[in-house]
Amino acid sequence: MSYYLDILGNIGIFMILAMSLNVICGMTGLLQLGHAGFFALGAYSAGLVSIYWQLPGLGMVNFIPGALAAMLVASLFAVLIGVPCLRLRGDYLAIATLGFGEIVRLSLQNLYFPAPPALLERGVERIGGATGISLPVNAQYGSWWFIWIFVIITYVLLVNLKRSAIGRAFLAIREDEIAARAMGVNLPYYKSLSFVLSAAFAGLAGALYAHKQLTLHPGDFGLLRTIEVLLMVVLGGLGSFSGAALAALLLIGTREALGQIPYIGPNRELFFALLLILMIRFVPNGLFGLKEFDGVARQLARRFKRAREDEPHG
Amino acid sequence: MDLFLYYLVEGICNGAVIALIALGYTLVYGIIKLINFAHGEFYMVGAYAGFAMYAVVPSSVPVWLTILLLLLVAGIAGAIIAIITERIAYKPIRDSSRLVALLTAIGVSFFLQNLFKFVNSGNRLAFGGAVAEVTQFSVRIFGTGFYLSKFVFILVTVLLMVWLWYLVAATRFGRSMRAVSQDLDAARLMGIDVDKTIMMTFALGGFFAGVAGMMVGAIKQIDPMMGFMPGLIAFVAAVIGGIGSVPGAVIGGFLIGILQTMVVWLGLRLGYAEAANAYKEVAVFLLLIVVLVVRPQGILGRAERIKV
Amino acid sequence: MVEQRESVDRAVNEVRHEFDLLRVDGLSKSFGGVRAVQQVSFSVKRGEIVGLIGPNGAGKTTAFNMITGLEVADAGTIYFDRSYITDLSANQIVRRGLARTFQNIRLLDELSVLDNVKIAYHYHFRYRMMDAMLRLPRFFREEREITRKSMQFLRLFDLADVADEAAESLPYGKRRKLEIARALATEGQLLLLDEPAAGMNPRETEELVEMIRRINREFSVSILLIEHDMRLVMSLCGRIIVMDHGAVIAEGTPAEIRNDPRVIEAYLGARREDGA
């Protein structure tokens, strides 16, 4: 049972990651290949806050400062990298952000922090580097429901944003930059805003991840992680938060299910890769297109109604 | 001072390999505007093919001939895997969006890595016997020892580049390639076999990558993930040089090769050897971002005008 | 000293152009040695409908692009509504009340027809991101107003019944209409229409002429339009500006233009070059 609940927690974290990437890639249409970098910054920030600064007796409330730090640090780096890079178009932006993601991963691999007092007593002088960092055991707030509360909050906030003038500006940039400018959308501002928002929620996902896993390795935040999340966004339908979340569920679920099958299990990554190529080929527009759950439900209802009307009577 | 010389030569040698891989990225991007993420895996496949070939070459064959044969086999294997990838994965999605193409390329890369993990069950392989002995030869120049194998890198790269230059400048294939990269539809109307040209371009890039994989595989270890980082670095080299530009890829390759060893050399001089070694890749990506911000089209690339 | 001169010049210009809604002076632009627009000057007065005509490649669209801030002029000045807008970016110029449509219709294809009009109100909204994310009253108040106004425009253009459909699903004529509706919804004072009748059949063109007249009258919006359909231009515009090879070669009433030898030469010459 706990195995399934653990997976449920993982799915929740990936849902937030996928929804956050959907802000920049899906809504604003800017290909971002450094998302794992923001995820890593969030996870490490929350982890370090928790290592150095745990308030005893407060329990889960200790999550809040870490999460805020995670979102703040991710946003700061997004501003730092976004302001120069967001002028780039298409593939070039993708490459620059990819470079950023790799810089974060490689830096974390070689970055050391002074050990907290508890470890110093045991003769450990520094933490970090390729072996990563470990949070105190009492900082584990990884229950699936705890994570899912944040999934719901993220979903509601982002869908609300999508259906506002700000969301319309993002979508306008994706559809046609020139038309967006001609209609009064300030491109640099809205591109940056979208980039920073995306990073902030990736940071939140990082904080949740840190408090669930407790041990963080730089290797967990490589390009592959970004690609995985990007696949969720594409499979869900670019611009759809419902789609991104559902795709996270499907992809992680499929991978775990593959692991259960004899023979395939040990080589599941191979089958998973094959599955990805096929999915991209046959569902290039994603499951939901641009729609959210309500839009899809309405469309299905309409189709159902039409089918009933078309039925010959008597 | 001699250490400086050593690292400079080392940088040029590494740069040669990076340039060789970068050529594949640039050729493919120039022709169909696809970032072929699986290119690093062509390099890996080349190394494996060379290793497999080495197992069947009798030890009575002279070592220089063996090495030549291995390089050739690795190149051909790289070309074959490139053609297969292009036919099965890329051709059907040629008219899809860029994002679909990019993700497919990444999927292929991921698939090939895991295929070799499956076949090889994750073991690292290393060349033994005569080849291993040859790679240990070193020569002394100005009192500094250099591995002879590194000079082979430069020699092979230069020969291949001359060959590529000849191909592009003076053959029918080169003309078709240039025509397709200028305007694919117009080239088709002019009677150029676009499909074949694209396939040959992939094969050429795969051949270079395969040879590079074999060379590096001979002095280092071979494993399914070996193509990832070199592929990424070579890709950065292609972008810095100006993606789509053949001389750009060569310049970018050498630039990055030298940059990396210079970072290491500087670290040694300043007493931060460990850190410098660790950050030599960070330096590459930092250079990438700086170049993209200052000159997005790269050193030799052409800027595009956006039509309103 | 020089700065002072410039500011005086600017003040003088402002007085001189008090009655011009749009005033373009000495506008020039080259693309890699090709002079697309050279030393173009003209003006549009309040309430006017002005036609901008000329053979293909005369630089009409490039002039539009510079006026609307999508392309940066090499030289020249642009005044709109008595203020200097030459250096402003496209999004700032829309705010001043100058909106445009495009030759090759630029709609937000995957968005609904309604959202396509709502985007025109982009610079009107005042609520904050938090208002939107948390659905605070301020958000509802403003969005309701934007939706109401947008629907008004859609009704005006007979598009209300397709408000929820994706813009890409509309037939060509309706797409043109939607783009004009969107430009009008910015509530500007001057509308720049780039070949609004291109690809329309005679009946649709007729409708379009009526619509433009109505917009001009009811919303007191001035109009500057590029068009190749001479019947439309002659019947609609009070004044016509003719461009050829990047320069203005004639300006006047439809009757004057029709009999201007330079204009005839430009068109016939162009036709001869085309081989038609």
- Position B304 scores a pLDDT of 61
- Tokens 């004529």 belong to residue: C173
Kindly state the DSSP code that residue A131 receives in the 8-state scheme. Answer: G
Q: Which residues pair with C104 in a beta bridge?
A: none
Does A192 touch chain C if contact means CB atoms closer than 8 Å? no
- Cα separation, B282 vs B276, in Å, equals 10
Polymer length in residues for chain C: 276
- Residue B115: CB atoms within 10 Å: 18
Contacts of A235 (CB under 8 A, 6+ apart): A243, A247, A250, A251, A279, A280, A283, A286, A287
Q: What pLDDT digit, counting tens, does each position of A120-163 carry?
A: 888 788 888 888 898 888 888 878 899 999 999 999 999 999 99
Cβ within 8 Å, pair C70-B305: no
| Predicted confidence (pLDDT) at residue C18 exceeds the cutoff of 70 | no
Q: What pLDDT digit, counting tens, does each position of A90-118 carry?
A: 788 888 899 999 999 999 998 888 888 87
Cβ within 8 Å, pair C71-B305: no
Q: What pLDDT digit, counting tens, does each position of C214-257 carry?
A: 999 988 899 999 998 888 999 999 999 999 999 999 999 999 99
Cβ within 8 Å, pair A270-B308: no
- Cα separation, A155 vs A15, in Å, equals 9
Provide φ and ψ at A240, rounded to 5°.
-100, 120
Does C182 touch chain A if contact means CB atoms closer than 8 Å? yes
Taking a C-beta distance cutoff of 8 angstroms, is the pair C223, C180 a contact?
Answer: no
Query: Smallest CA–CA separation between A302 and chain C, in Å?
Result: 13
N-term to C-term CA, chain A: 52
Provide φ and ψ at B302, rounded to 5°.
-100, 140
Query: Smallest CA–CA separation between B278 and chain A, in Å?
Result: 6
- Cα separation, C176 vs A274, in Å, equals 44
Residue C43: strand, helix, or coil: strand
Q: How far is CA C41 from the centre of its chain?
A: 17
Residue B126: strand, helix, or coil: coil
- Position C273 scores a pLDDT of 47
| Predicted confidence (pLDDT) at residue C193 exceeds the cutoff of 80 | yes
Transcribe C8-24 into DSSP letters: HHHHHHHHHTTTEEEEE
How many percent of chain C have pLDDT more than 90?
Answer: 65
**What H or E segment, with its residue span, contains residue C44?**
strand C34-45
Q: What pLDDT digit, counting tens, does each position of B34-91 carry?
A: 888 899 999 999 999 999 998 888 888 888 888 899 999 999 999 999 999 999 888 8
- Cα separation, A116 vs A52, in Å, equals 6
Mean pLDDT of chain A: 89
Nearest CA in chain C to B306: C71
Polymer length in residues for chain B: 308
Query: Smallest CA–CA separation between A63 and chain B, in Å?
Result: 31
Q: Is residue C13 very low, low, confident or very high in pLDDT (cuts 50, 70, 90)?
A: low
Residue A19: strand, helix, or coil: helix
| Predicted confidence (pLDDT) at residue A83 exceeds the cutoff of 90 | no
Q: Is B253 exposed, middle or buried (0-12, 13-18, 19+ CB in 10 A)?
A: buried
- Position B2 scores a pLDDT of 64
Q: How far is CA A305 from the centre of its chain?
A: 37
Average pLDDT over residues C202-210: 90
Taking a C-beta distance cutoff of 8 angstroms, is the pair C138, C127 a contact?
Answer: yes
Work out how many CB contacts closer than 8 A connect A with B.
112
**What H or E segment, with its residue span, contains residue B115?**
helix B98-120
Polymer length in residues for chain A: 314
Q: In what order do the strands lie in the sheet with C34-45?
A: C34-45, C20-31, C75-80, C83-84
Taking a C-beta distance cutoff of 8 angstroms, is the pair A13, A212 a contact?
Answer: yes
| Predicted confidence (pLDDT) at residue A48 exceeds the cutoff of 90 | yes
Q: What is the amino acid identity at position B167?
A: L
Q: Which two tokens stand for residue B115?
A: 């295929």
Q: Which residues pair with C34 in a beta bridge?
A: C31
| Predicted confidence (pLDDT) at residue B306 exceeds the cutoff of 70 | no
- Cα separation, A277 vs A286, in Å, equals 13
Does A180 touch chain C if contact means CB atoms closer than 8 Å? yes
Q: What pLDDT digit, counting tens, does each position of B101-117 carry?
A: 888 888 899 899 988 88
pTM: 0.88
Q: What pLDDT digit, counting tens, does each position of C96-107 carry?
A: 999 999 999 999
Nearest CA in chain A to C111: A171
